[in-house]
Structure 1
Amino acid sequence: MINKIKNLLHSESAIGILLILAAFLAILFQNINFLSDFYNSFTHYKFLPFPDYKIEGSVHFWVNDALMVLFFFLIGLELKREMMIGQLKDISQVTLPIAAAIGGVLMPAIIFVAINSGNEFAMKGWAIPTATDIAFAVGVLALLGDKVPSSLKLFILTIAIVDDLCAILIIAIFYSDDLNLLFLGLSFIIAIALFLINKANINKKAPYIVLGVLLWFFVLNSGIHATIAGVIVAFCIPLKGKNSMLKSMEHALHTPVNFIILPLFAFVNAGVSLKGIGADQLFGSVSLGIILGLFLGKQIGIFLFSFIIVKLNLANLPKNSNWTQIYAMGMICGIGFTMSLFINNLAYGGSDEFGYADRLAILLGSLISGVSGYLSARFLGKKLD
């Protein structure tokens, strides 16, 4: 029984199922009258507010601007490990997935911009369909089993890692408010302190945790989104040593982040009221930009850039794979969900300008991409001996 529980807690498919359940419950709660009151009271319930320092204090704030920092911290730990000793260490092995990931970011953005050009407010959401949800993408691969060769699983995982790096850069550059130079300077000082204690080979967690909390507070008030603090701290965590602090933290955070924080984020942010959504909103420019960006943009961008890089003899197809499978992987990468919802919140600030159709579009685009990708990969896949 204990082994079964351990296997469940490390199952990517279980993570995906839990996220779907959380999103479904959020939609259900928001669309049943007495549950809707509970849902809105819960998400707007305030505790420990410090409004003068951008700590608004609602459950929505603590989930999106505090707990999600731990999610980005975990991503940062994974990125550092992969860059130092993993898949991203040897550039020759990742040329193809890096190119594919770039295509998978550019093409959805181009589609969204083409559909929404001329609407200044709508254009703020150009990055919404550029994201890929790692948990869901890997979860779909887990469901496919031996229909997908291990080389393709490595391919899509590397795409997701590079995609996360792109998302971090996009958030830092395009979704930061007016900068507060005082708090920005304090953030820089803390970041330097973290770098120095790393170089001094200090291998105790307490200094990193204390400085990390201070960095979160300063970055939150600097105008740069607070989640960037998680990535900065992660890159300062020591990787070397017999008992690697980085690996220890990564292992410790895997379960709470994937089974508590991400489902809570999905529940708090996916509560779409279907009552006010008409055909004009569901098929409006923003919704179409998101749905077509996730579904068409991702698969076209990933396939096209992969095709070009292979035909230029700069990389080879993953072992035991073919072009139809690469296209199916591109579909699966159209599952934006968590990261798309997160960027949507940054872009539109929870505005009801589109009557929740923007969030519904993320769910629909992700669902269409996931189901289509799964069926395509299963139908086109080769069973391995």
Structure 2
Amino acid sequence: MATPQNRKFLGRLPLPERTYVTDALRTETVGGILLLIAAIVALVMANTPLSGFYETVRDFELGPESLHLHLSIADWAKDGLLTIFFFVAGIELKRELVAGELRDPRAAALPMIAAVCGMVAPALFYVAVNTTGGGSLSGWAVPTATDIAFALAVLAVIGTSLPSALRAFLLTLAIVDDLGAILIIALFFTTDINLPALGLAAAGLLLFWFLHRNNVRGWYVYVPLAAVIWALVHAGGVHATVAGVAMGLLLRCTVREGEDHSPAEHIEHLVRPLSAGVAVPLFALFAAGVGVSGGAIADVFTRPEPLGVVLGLFLGKVVGVFGGSWLAVRFTKAQLNEEMRWADLLAVSALAGIGFTVSLLIGELAFPDQPQLADEVKAAVLMGSVISAVVAGVLLKLRNDKYKKLYEEENRDEDESGIPDIYEQDDPAYHLRMAERLEARAAEHRRLAEVTAARSGKKDGPA
């Protein structure tokens, strides 16, 4: 289908895409609430007499030493559980490129420009602060990520019925952010390369692709194979989460004859709750436990590394996402949806400053030999995310009545067909169904009028 010359920016989504976004974000919202709970539990345990127990569990090591997998619980969460998260991210990216909004370069250009600017600007803020303050530039990538689950949890808490166009825009930002994070982790946080191990991992991925393309089914085939690929990538010196992304990208996203859903969609439906509801919250439980004493909070705003993270997440994301969107609309033929205002985009830009899961991960990778600085950067991630959430919440609340009206219009289904009326305006059958319903309603009102008139006549007649 051709893209209109004057494309609406933040316009109405096609119905299949809207359904996918709604289902995906519903799971992420629940996962985001669990993520919030896990982060709060971690902070409470790390800052109370339970800190000793928390650190003992977090640092407890297990796994086979011979396979270089004798890791702490925290490392298993970081390298193992987050692989599930990145596996889902890989499926999302593949689907968007093959069947979603990103398949059309002209349609994808606008959100991708905003997303890329939303990664570059925070990095520049961090570099500027640390260059002038004499800090380490190693953490430049920490503020570049947006945590979709955490952002949706904030939306759930403040009760905003965000229109589907803004939710899809936020999801696209997160998908591009995830892609950027994957590239950053693979390119900049790779340790000593073990080529034989990576060669075997590549062979495992080729086998994974071959079996999948030949319709070999069964979790008992793919789960052990995925575990072997993950272990080989880990041994190869590349961060193990890259294995999850690679396997997600190999899944088929197209529907063949006789299929109701593509294999990628089916697997994502099964794995996403595990990612959002178990893997990410458990990672947060062992990654977010940092000290937040008065001195630690003061360090966040006085030391250049954590200050760069806070400013990058809050100001950098707003400047990057909002500025990139404005530039895209200003210098292309796109037009902002007439039902939206730039204030809406400003609020979502602030919401994009909630960088939690991937930011915490990159914070650990950026300062592996400086645990105190790594903890300060984690505290900065928490602080920057909280500031962004509060500001975004205030901005969204100011527009909440408008959002509710748009949300109700998007979901109205007066003919009870199961499809929102807004998507049936060009369908003659919809108008015939509505005519029948209105005629039936009119007939009922005529009957009631006759009954009422008859009663009134009896009351006014002679005794």
Same fold by TM-score, threshold 0.5 exceeded? Answer: yes
**Residues 234 and 86 of structure 1: CA distance in aligned 2, closer, same or farther (over 3 Å):** same
CA distance in 1, matches of 2:134, 2:64: 32
1:65 to 2:65 alignment: no
| Alignment-derived partner of residue 41 in structure 1 | 56
Contact 2:118–2:318 (8 Å) recurs in 1: yes
| Alignment-derived partner of residue 181 in structure 2 | 167
After TM superposition, give the deviation of residue 93 of structure 1 in Å: 2.3
CA distance in 2, matches of 1:318, 1:283: 42
Contact 2:313–2:354 (8 Å) recurs in 1: yes
Contact 2:344–2:399 (8 Å) recurs in 1: yes
The counterpart of 1:257, out of the listed 275, 290, 310, is 275
**Residues 90 and 23 of structure 1: CA distance in aligned 2, closer, same or farther (over 3 Å):** same
The counterpart of 2:388, out of the listed 347, 369, 379, is 369
Contact 1:101–1:162 (8 Å) recurs in 2: yes
| Alignment-derived partner of residue 40 in structure 2 | 24
Gaps of 5+ in 2: 1-22, 410-463
The counterpart of 1:294, out of the listed 313, 336, 348, is 313
Q: Where do residues 1-385 of structure 1 align in structure 2 (5 Å cutoff)?
A: 10=26, 12-33=28-49, 35-50=50-65, 52-117=66-131, 122-142=136-156, 148-239=162-253, 240-241=255-256, 242=259, 244-275=262-293, 277=296, 279-280=298-299, 282-318=301-337, 320-349=339-368, 351-354=370-373, 356-381=375-400, 382-383=402-403, 384=405, 385=409
CA distance in 2, matches of 1:62, 1:277: 27
Gaps of 5+ in 1: 1-6
Work out the percentage of aligned pairs sharing the same amino acid. Answer: 38
After TM superposition, give the deviation of residue 147 of structure 1 in Å: 5.3
After TM superposition, give the deviation of residue 282 of structure 1 in Å: 4.2
Contact 1:125–1:348 (8 Å) recurs in 2: yes
Contact 1:151–1:320 (8 Å) recurs in 2: no
Contact 1:94–1:158 (8 Å) recurs in 2: no
Q: What SS class does the counterpart of residue 334 from structure 1 fall into?
A: coil
What do you get for the CA RMSD once the two structures are aligned?
2.4
Q: What residue identity is the alignment partner of 2:245?
A: V
Deviations 1:110-162 (A, max 9, x none): 01011113899821111000000011223334456665332222211111111
Q: Could you tell me the TM-score, scaled by structure 2's length?
A: 0.76
After TM superposition, give the deviation of residue 20 of structure 1 in Å: 1.7
**Residues 146 and 289 of structure 1: CA distance in aligned 2, closer, same or farther (over 3 Å):** closer
Q: What SS class does the counterpart of residue 320 from structure 1 fall into?
A: coil
Contact 2:122–2:311 (8 Å) recurs in 1: yes
After TM superposition, give the deviation of residue 100 of structure 1 in Å: 0.5
CA distance in 1, matches of 2:298, 2:154: 30
Q: What residue identity is the alignment partner of 1:31?
A: N
After TM superposition, give the deviation of residue 320 of structure 1 in Å: 1.8
CA distance in 1, matches of 2:27, 2:210: 37
**Residues 261 and 280 of structure 1: CA distance in aligned 2, closer, same or farther (over 3 Å):** closer
CA distance in 2, matches of 1:350, 1:262: 24
After TM superposition, give the deviation of residue 185 of structure 1 in Å: 1.6
Q: What residue identity is the alignment partner of 1:359?
A: K
Q: What residue identity is the alignment partner of 1:266?
A: A
Contact 1:147–1:377 (8 Å) recurs in 2: no
Q: What residue identity is the alignment partner of 2:357?
A: T
Contact 1:281–1:355 (8 Å) recurs in 2: no
**Residues 120 and 202 of structure 1: CA distance in aligned 2, closer, same or farther (over 3 Å):** farther
**Residues 377 and 27 of structure 1: CA distance in aligned 2, closer, same or farther (over 3 Å):** same
Q: What SS class does the counterpart of residue 356 from structure 1 fall into?
A: helix
Greater radius of gyration (CA)? 2
**Residues 152 and 278 of structure 1: CA distance in aligned 2, closer, same or farther (over 3 Å):** closer
Q: What residue identity is the alignment partner of 1:267?
A: L
Contact 2:135–2:304 (8 Å) recurs in 1: no
Q: Could you tell me the TM-score, scaled by structure 1's length?
A: 0.90
**Residues 45 and 86 of structure 1: CA distance in aligned 2, closer, same or farther (over 3 Å):** same
**Residues 316 and 206 of structure 1: CA distance in aligned 2, closer, same or farther (over 3 Å):** farther
Q: What residue identity is the alignment partner of 2:351?
A: I
CA distance in 2, matches of 1:209, 1:284: 44
Q: What SS class does the counterpart of residue 296 from structure 2 fall into?
A: coil
CA distance in 2, matches of 1:54, 1:133: 30
**Residues 146 and 63 of structure 1: CA distance in aligned 2, closer, same or farther (over 3 Å):** closer
Q: What residue identity is the alignment partner of 1:60?
A: A
Contact 1:303–1:326 (8 Å) recurs in 2: yes
CA distance in 2, matches of 1:40, 1:334: 29
Q: What residue identity is the alignment partner of 1:43?
A: R
